[in-house]
Structures are given as C-alpha cells and as structure tokens.
Amino acid sequence: MGTYKDLLLYQKSFELAMEIFAMTKRFPKEETYSLTDQIRRSSRSVNICMIEAYRKRRYPNHFISKLTDADMENSETQGWLEFSLACNYISEQEFTLLNNQSIEVGKLLHFMINNPEKFGAL
C-alpha cells in the first residue's frame, strides 16, 4: 500500500488549495484577515484533515470522523468562493472552475466516507 500522497483526494485537494492561494493574492488588502484568510484556511484544511484521517484509518470511526471534518471544510470553501464571486474578486469562469474542483473533491470524500475498508480501515 502506498502513502496518502498516492490518493487522488490528496492530489486534487492540494491542487485546489494551491489554486485558491494563487487566486487570493489578487484580493484587496482589506480582505487579508477575513475572506482571504478564511478561504485559504478552509481549502488547506480539506487536505490536512484527509491526511489526519489516513493516519487514523485503523479506526474506522475516527477515519470517517476526520473525513467528515474535511467535507465540512470543503463545503466552507464553496461558501467562500460564492462570496468571492459576489464581491467581484473572481470571475464567473474562475468561480465555476474552482467550484467544480471542490465538488469533485466532495465526491471523492464521500466515496472514502462510504467505503472506509478500501482505504485500510479495519
């Protein structure tokens, strides 16, 4: 068995967090400690919670709990993307691209939550 870095969820959630990081560099300075910080934090947390879940995969309840935390953070990221669009910080095209990536991450999360045994959970 490989490592968590081999998981498609790890790769997709890391990529999304990095794209959000790059995008938010254009946000206004007055958003530094609010929207910019929040969307960066939630998008990164998806990836970090998945790593934590992978390390707890011997314990299915802990595994699923951490993955549901990741799912919550992913949903929060989608909310911040909606605010970013409404504030005209990102284009409709950027929103659609990033939101679709987040939806894909959510589908991968739900697969892992519903099939913990496929990821080494006992």
Convert the pLDDT of each residue in 53-107 to its tens digit. Answer: 999 999 999 999 999 999 999 999 999 999 999 999 999 999 999 999 999 999 9
Domain count for the chain: 1
CB burial of residue 61 (10 Å; 0-12, 13-18, 19+): exposed
CATH of the domain at 97: 1.20.1440.60
Say if 63 falls within a structural domain: yes
**pTM for the model:** 0.94
Q: Which domain holds residue 35?
A: 4-117
| Long-range contacts of the stretch 81-85 (C-beta < 8 A, 24+) | 81/39, 83/35, 84/23, 84/27, 84/35, 84/39
Say if 89 falls within a structural domain: yes
pLDDT digits (tens, 9 = 90+) for 25-35: 999 999 998 99
Say if 122 falls within a structural domain: no
